Structure 1
Amino acid sequence: MFPNAGTQTVRFRRPITESSAAADASEKLKTGGGKKVIKGTLIREQLNRVNPPWVPKLSVAFRIIVLVRFCGAMYTAISDCDETFNYWEPTHYLIHGSGFQTWEYSPRFAIRSWAYILLHVFPAWIASKVFTLDKRPGFFAIRAAFAFISSYCEARLYRSIADHVNIRAARYFLAFTMFSAGMWNASTAFLPSSFALHAITLAYSYIIEPASSSSTAYRRTFSAILCLATAVLVGWPFVGALAIPFVIEEVSMAGDDEVMPASRPIWAMRRVQRVMSSGLTALALIGIPVFLIDTLAYGHSVFVPLKIILYNVFPSAGSGPELYGTEPWYYYFLNLALNFNIVFPLALASLPLLYITANFSTSAPVRLGTGLRHAQQSSAARLLLVRLAPVYLWLSILSQQAHKEERFMYPIYTLISVNAAVTLSLMRGWLEDTFIKITSSPYRAGRTSLFGHFTRSILAIAIAISASRMLAIQRYYHAPFDLLFHFQYNELPVRAIQTYPEAFANLKLNNSLPILEALEYAEETVDLGILAQEHLRLCVGSEWYRFPTSFLVPNEVEVRFIEGGFRGQLPGRFVDAKEVLRKAKNTVGGVKFEDRWPWMGTRMEGSAFNSLNKPENDRLVKLETCSYLITVEYPHRAPEEQVNKVDEDEWDRRACWPILDSERSSRWTRVLWFPLVEAFGDEGSGTNKFGELCLRKKKA
């Protein structure tokens, strides 16, 4: 019944306390005045904002991230020779029939998975069919695929944080991960640890949601376990440790369930059954194909994930990962500080700050939803603890291992950004509490721009330092890519046209212009196939570890090593695919090539191999057999320090690119790019020293 017009009425409402007002403000923000409701977030807003923060949808976040990732795919150099020789080269072999082979791919040792390599063949194979004269598009096709996969996984984790943790934390995560110098490299790297990074990121996009027994809970559990199993069996077995907090939550924490003591045994049994059934199904779906593919590739039964564990944990006498270098316990802390700058200490502060907030903050009942969760449910603080724990767990495990590599931290890169985002969200909460305590005005707190300026300044600092790091990597170490680009598109076309002018008469080039200008003007691509009869050889000495990949070298050129002072085991060569076919035809009865695995060269050793990192004599060729040579020259070093110094009368210097001499450069200016102090050798006033990576041609 409605009151008559003009009649005054009295409205009764409960007394308002500070905590109830904050709770009401939180609920109003969640409902957003009739807009979509975001329920169940582990960290809640305590202030009613006039303009709630913008939270991009999954599709929008994906499109934003992919722009950055695609740039990384196009311009990032390869920073680890393990990526080149253990992953790019085997992929090149499957597509083009040649490439470098490491001892790990010897059928005797078999500690690298061909199943993992096979996953990446399709983009490059398609590119090889479209661009028949150029292998380079295959390289970038694979990298572009990495960019899209990483972008989707990151965007999905971002949306999961927005839906289940906090919308502001999600925004912070989006900024941290998108502009992270670490992610700039790791997201498009061809490494099992990068594959594990993507799978772990996708897994945690499901894990972020609290466990429950709802109708969709099995989908969450199975999806998370399937992603984790993929990371372990296809990527890197040791990342299974990152599943420990998730499994603990699944089998022992109520999550969103309201579990009464009397029903807990039955509840626990159902949870364990759910995990076990999901795990066995995932093991069958992923493990069986991996086993079958690797067995076909190596020619004998082998389960590579198990062999990787045995090699690293129980190595044979004289072998093991320590042969390839050891680092102090704090190596990862320094490395992560370099790749994540202030984001890393923020990530480390997440658990301590969560504990302080849960136990000492006056707004904890609202911010962590203590008063909004049932007593039989898991508290928001405990659920957050489980989601923040993997970073600490991974750091503690790997810091104890003697052999350390930057790539070993890749699997937790997005989780570092998650932890840092939670820290920044909690810090903002403490700042809001302090403001309200000083001003006694939640109304003013809800309208001040102070908190936004604080968080934006943190984000701006992190992004600026990351940009400096990314530019340093690009400017200081991109020379090998520049050299091989020049070699393929400048040096070799000129050689082909000058040596065999009649073969290129149909190009109708303007003879009044230099050859390269004439080619560019005519928009013609030179078929270098005619150079195959010259058996050209590009040689690399002391800088063998900088060689990017055979994808960037034309098929008409063979890449080989010369003596360069290295005393370990260099990569050998896969048995050439054409040679395998020739032997098959000449063998009495033939070799039974199974259609299921057409690359029989993977079952052979193209060179002698050992697991002790001892040099093998068949790796090197004589300098006299080389047509081209890649050398590094440091003008500021003494003559006796120059490696692979060549006779200027025999080797013509074709082109050079600056490359950082990290041993002679300042620690700070070599890891970050400072435009005002950048120096190139003696020409600048900075503290960096540069050498030159040069392409040389043997004189006739």
Structure 2
Amino acid sequence: MIIQPHHPHTPTDIPPSADDTRTDQATGHRNHSSASSPLSRERKTPTDSTMLPAGVQTIRFRKPTTGSDASKAADSSEKLKAGRHVVVKDTLIAEQINRNRPPWAPKLSVAFRILVLVRFCAAMYSSIQDCDESFNYWEPTHYLVHGKGFQTWEYSPDYAIRSWFYILLHSLPAWLASKAFPFDKRPGFFAIRAMLAFLSSYTEAKLYRAIADHINARAARYYLSMSLFSAAMWTASSAYLPSAFAMQAITLAYSYVLEPVSSKAFSGRRTFFSCLFFVIATVTGWPFVGVLALPFAFEELSLYGDDEVMPASRPGWAASRFNRLFVCGLGCLILISAPLVLVDWLAYGKLLFVPLNIVLYNVFPEKFGSGGGPELYGTEPPHFYLLNLLLNFNIVFILALLAIPLVLLTSRFSKNRGVRLGQKIRLANQTPSAQLLIIRLVPVYAWIALMSKQSHKEERFMQPIYTLISFNAAVSLSLIRGWMEDIFVHLTSSPYRAGRTSIFSTFTRTVILTSSCIAVARILALQNYYHAPLDLMFHFQYNELPVRAIQTHPAEYANLRLNTSQPILEAIEHAETTVDLGPLAKEKLTLCLGESWFRFPTQFLVPDPINVEFVKTGPFAGILPSKFPSLPTKGQFDGTRQEKLNPQQPRSSNPLSEWLWRRKGTRTNGGKFNTENKEEMNRYVNPQTECDYAVGLNYPHRRAGWRGGEFEDPQSWEPRHCVPMLDAQHTPTWARTIWLPLSWWSDAHVGNRKGKLSFGELCLYKRTPRS
């Protein structure tokens, strides 16, 4: 044995990491020769120019260090421990190989910029999937901003199960757009969608960073990839729905929930912000999503987390935890509820708490005069959500359902479970990493089970857990990769080779790439099959109406100096000008909606001089929206019925509320309403006398009673523009699920079943001149 002096600044008391230790297959001895570890290279470096013979052991002594020498030695030791200045965080899922070189994960700002590119495209091009979004949210917003809009029974002061506070929050971008573009309402529509896209991008990026910091860096990357190309997130990110708003608030809440609970001073931030966003999701968004906060509350009150609690101190610990949760929860509830109650008091003219009304209507519908409640609007089988989520998430949904079983298997059977489920060795009185992880995976299962028990089901009801589904799937994929690494190391006895092979990365990339391709094909299907309503409204505003305005009021457009030798549309495009449709207000034109009324997007896409009405053309016998009592401004037309209507006087209120809330129509009923989905005949107008344009569907393959074509009378109506739209009833499920760039798949025409696709037409009709 040779004793050598040691430089005071050279740290030698660092234990070798697991990655530095390998078994020599020839001798069976353990050695430290991993090329991935800077510490192992430091140990192999000889201390002098003389090479020592094999088998000679050395001992090096460190002389005492004081003052600046001690701090320098400590700094040097910390740098080596970090492994090339890379700090490895303590996460609930740890790496088995290359633990001193954590996977690359982009920063929050980088993730946000990546997400916002895709979400902004969705805001610009995605269609409106639900008529509830059109009539319950876009139309009230249109009324606040422009003074006219459709009113559903939910906004009747007699029932009041929709909050105007939620509408007011979203109306600001549209109001600003109306000031910047006073002659065009379309920018207001896209301003709201752009705001929703930016908000969704930030919440997703925030959750991504929380996963990287507290769960696992690889899982965070998987989540980012899954969420980025998700067909579900394509529609939900810019959807103007309380369920989508709740999704964004829940996502922010879980970006704080992922941090393990603790009673330390700084952990109060986790409790406060989690409570704040859960309350925002529940009170401002959708009351039923409060269920998703129960696992968080259970963890706060029952699990030690990072606390080390002795049995004797448990009562005081429990009281402290309860007080913290109660104070944060109550404070956030008051903070969010106060402005909501104030706005709804101003809007409805009476004091009420709308979230409570929503719960009462769904639980006790008889209190609202309804014998059936939400079931009146349709019921679905228990497996509806499973199939729908499989359609929207494909492979990702299957992985999400495997999350908890994989955690349990890993905790029970993995030889490296102490590494796989947390680097830090948790003390006996602390909560195991597996339990902390499971409590974060439970919400997806709980929400699906709860909503599947309800008879009335809608696709949008799953939106609050969309981001959590991707999170569960990312955890599953990370654990599956961990099991593959364990098996590889067991078979090869070489963590070093496991760290160099590309098998694991190839597997995870294949899973994510396959899922992304299916998701993109689903997005393209939605765009190609169901985008007709937005396309038709664009043609109506920028093609049909400008031509009519110039032809019927040529003197009003003399200053445009159009080339009269060209067709009007070509001349307008060549002049690079936007035609002011104000002169059309003199004609009091009406656009009528037939059996396809539920596909109407919003009056934001219909110019102000045009009125929109319903006509009775088919077997539909449910209740349709009425109109808010309105006082149209100059250049607006809201129908002759509104001019003759003498609505009930607004509810009495004090002068302050009169000054604060100018849209008094929110305090009255624009028509007769009921909660039993019974048809009200005063919603319809006579198509022969009051309609100038109409929108109708034509399905050639359907039987006569349901094929549409209500305006196909050449004596009365002239088709002006038609857009193909998929006939879902006559197209197989597998064919309408995705879109593929194949000629036999994508070249089907209306009335021609080339391949398996069947198309109809959504058409704009113009009334022929009356003789």
For the aligned pair, the TM-score class normalised by the smaller chain equals over 0.9
Q: Which amino acid aligns with 1:605?
A: N
Partner of 1:84: 134
Partner of 2:683: 619
- Deviation at residue 671 of structure 1 after TM alignment: 1.4
Whole-Å separation in 1 of the counterparts to 2:400 and 2:658: 51
1:63-119 deviations in Å (ceiling 9; x for gaps): 000001000000010000000000000000000010110000000000000011000
Q: Which amino acid aligns with 2:686?
A: K
Whole-Å separation in 1 of the counterparts to 2:350 and 2:514: 54
Say which of 514, 529, 544 aligns to 2:597.
Answer: 544
Partner of 1:130: 180
- Three-state SS of the structure 1 residue aligned to 2:96 is coil
Q: Residues 17 and 574 from structure 1, CA distance in 2 versus in 1: closer, same or farther, beyond 3 angstroms?
A: closer
Find out whether 1:608 has 2:608 as its counterpart: no
Find out whether 1:662 has 2:717 as its counterpart: no
Whole-Å separation in 1 of the counterparts to 2:714 and 2:443: 56
8 Å Cα contact 2:701-2:707 kept in structure 1:
no
- Deviation at residue 623 of structure 1 after TM alignment: 1.0
Structure-to-structure mapping, 1:349-364, within 5 angstroms: 349-364=402-417
- Deviation at residue 642 of structure 1 after TM alignment: 2.9
Q: Residues 4 and 380 from structure 1, CA distance in 2 versus in 1: closer, same or farther, beyond 3 angstroms?
A: closer
Whole-Å separation in 2 of the counterparts to 1:396 and 1:577: 47
Whole-Å separation in 2 of the counterparts to 1:17 and 1:654: 73
Unaligned runs of 5+ in 1: none
1:645-671 deviations in Å (ceiling 9; x for gaps): 431122111110000000000111111
- Three-state SS of the structure 1 residue aligned to 2:271 is helix
Partner of 2:123: 73
Say which of 172, 176, 191 aligns to 2:222.
Answer: 172
Structure-to-structure mapping, 1:394-409, within 5 angstroms: 394-409=447-462
Is the deviation greater in 43-52 or in 76-85?
A: 43-52
Partner of 2:296: 246
Partner of 1:685: 754
Whole-Å separation in 2 of the counterparts to 1:510 and 1:517: 9
Partner of 2:306: 256
8 Å Cα contact 1:164-1:209 kept in structure 2:
yes
Partner of 2:768: 699
- Deviation at residue 26 of structure 1 after TM alignment: 11
Q: Which amino acid aligns with 1:326?
A: T
Say which of 698, 706, 714 aligns to 1:648.
Answer: 714
Partner of 2:283: 233
Whole-Å separation in 1 of the counterparts to 2:277 and 2:229: 25
Is the deviation greater in 106-115 or in 30-39?
A: 30-39
- Deviation at residue 368 of structure 1 after TM alignment: 1.0
8 Å Cα contact 2:220-2:474 kept in structure 1:
yes
8 Å Cα contact 1:176-1:417 kept in structure 2:
yes
1:663-687 deviations in Å (ceiling 9; x for gaps): 0001111111122223234556310
Q: Which amino acid aligns with 2:694?
A: L
Find out whether 1:111 has 2:165 as its counterpart: no
CA RMSD of aligned residues (A): 2.7
8 Å Cα contact 1:211-1:255 kept in structure 2:
yes
Partner of 2:103: 53
1:427-481 deviations in Å (ceiling 9; x for gaps): 0000001111111111100000000000000000110010011000000000010
Partner of 1:576: 630
Whole-Å separation in 1 of the counterparts to 2:282 and 2:701: 47
Partner of 2:355: 305
Whole-Å separation in 2 of the counterparts to 1:682 and 1:112: 42
Whole-Å separation in 1 of the counterparts to 2:337 and 2:88: 38
Q: Residues 208 and 475 from structure 1, CA distance in 2 versus in 1: closer, same or farther, beyond 3 angstroms?
A: same
Is the deviation greater in 28-37 or in 689-698?
A: 28-37
1:4-26 deviations in Å (ceiling 9; x for gaps): 799xx9x9998998998799999
- Deviation at residue 33 of structure 1 after TM alignment: 2.0
Partner of 1:455: 508
Whole-Å separation in 2 of the counterparts to 1:98 and 1:433: 64
Fraction of identical pairs, as percent:
56
Find out whether 1:490 has 2:543 as its counterpart: yes
1:552-607 deviations in Å (ceiling 9; x for gaps): 00010011111132110011111013489x989x99x9995711211111001011
Find out whether 1:158 has 2:212 as its counterpart: no
- Three-state SS of the structure 1 residue aligned to 2:558 is helix
Whole-Å separation in 1 of the counterparts to 2:80 and 2:311: 32
8 Å Cα contact 1:634-1:691 kept in structure 2:
yes
Q: Residues 129 and 12 from structure 1, CA distance in 2 versus in 1: closer, same or farther, beyond 3 angstroms?
A: closer
Is the deviation greater in 212-221 or in 382-391?
A: 212-221
1:191-211 deviations in Å (ceiling 9; x for gaps): 000010000000000000011
Q: Residues 272 and 15 from structure 1, CA distance in 2 versus in 1: closer, same or farther, beyond 3 angstroms?
A: closer
1:500-549 deviations in Å (ceiling 9; x for gaps): 11110001111111111111111111110110011100001110000000
8 Å Cα contact 1:70-1:147 kept in structure 2:
yes
Is the deviation greater in 553-562 or in 42-51?
A: 42-51
Partner of 2:488: 435
Q: Which amino acid aligns with 2:108?
A: L
Instruction: Tell me: higher relative CO, structure 1 or 2? Use CA pairs within 8 A at least 6 residues apart.
Output: 1
Partner of 1:597: 661
8 Å Cα contact 1:370-1:379 kept in structure 2:
no
Say which of 527, 531, 549 aligns to 2:584.
Answer: 531
Q: Which amino acid aligns with 1:235?
A: G
Structure-to-structure mapping, 1:228-377, within 5 angstroms: 228-316=278-366, 317-369=370-422, 372-377=425-430
Whole-Å separation in 1 of the counterparts to 2:741 and 2:626: 41
Find out whether 1:385 has 2:472 as its counterpart: no
Q: Residues 27 and 402 from structure 1, CA distance in 2 versus in 1: closer, same or farther, beyond 3 angstroms?
A: farther
Q: Which amino acid aligns with 1:435?
A: F
8 Å Cα contact 2:92-2:423 kept in structure 1:
no
8 Å Cα contact 1:81-1:545 kept in structure 2:
yes
Partner of 1:673: 739
Partner of 2:29: none
Q: Which amino acid aligns with 2:167?
A: I
Q: Residues 288 and 355 from structure 1, CA distance in 2 versus in 1: closer, same or farther, beyond 3 angstroms?
A: same
Partner of 2:272: 222
Q: Residues 16 and 475 from structure 1, CA distance in 2 versus in 1: closer, same or farther, beyond 3 angstroms?
A: closer
Find out whether 1:63 has 2:113 as its counterpart: yes
1:387-431 deviations in Å (ceiling 9; x for gaps): 000001111111111111110100000000000000000000000
Whole-Å separation in 1 of the counterparts to 2:95 and 2:603: 53
Unaligned runs of 5+ in 2: 24-31, 40-78, 633-641
Q: Residues 591 and 550 from structure 1, CA distance in 2 versus in 1: closer, same or farther, beyond 3 angstroms?
A: farther
8 Å Cα contact 2:477-2:508 kept in structure 1:
yes
Partner of 2:44: none
Count, aligned residues? 694
Say which of 616, 636, 650 aligns to 2:701.
Answer: 636
Say which of 117, 141, 149 aligns to 2:199.
Answer: 149
Say which of 564, 567, 570 aligns to 2:621.
Answer: 567
Whole-Å separation in 2 of the counterparts to 1:577 and 1:221: 48
8 Å Cα contact 2:719-2:766 kept in structure 1:
yes
1:616-656 deviations in Å (ceiling 9; x for gaps): 01101111110001111123344454331431122111110
Q: Which amino acid aligns with 2:740?
A: F
Q: Which amino acid aligns with 1:617?
A: M
Q: Which has the larger radius of gyration?
A: 2
Whole-Å separation in 2 of the counterparts to 1:501 and 1:182: 48
4+ residue runs of structure 1 moved beyond 6 angstroms?
Answer: 11-31
TM-score w.r.t. the length of structure 2 is 0.86
8 Å Cα contact 2:700-2:751 kept in structure 1:
no
1:359-384 deviations in Å (ceiling 9; x for gaps): 00111111113762222211110000
Partner of 2:239: 189
8 Å Cα contact 2:38-2:84 kept in structure 1:
no
Say which of 424, 430, 433 aligns to 2:477.
Answer: 424
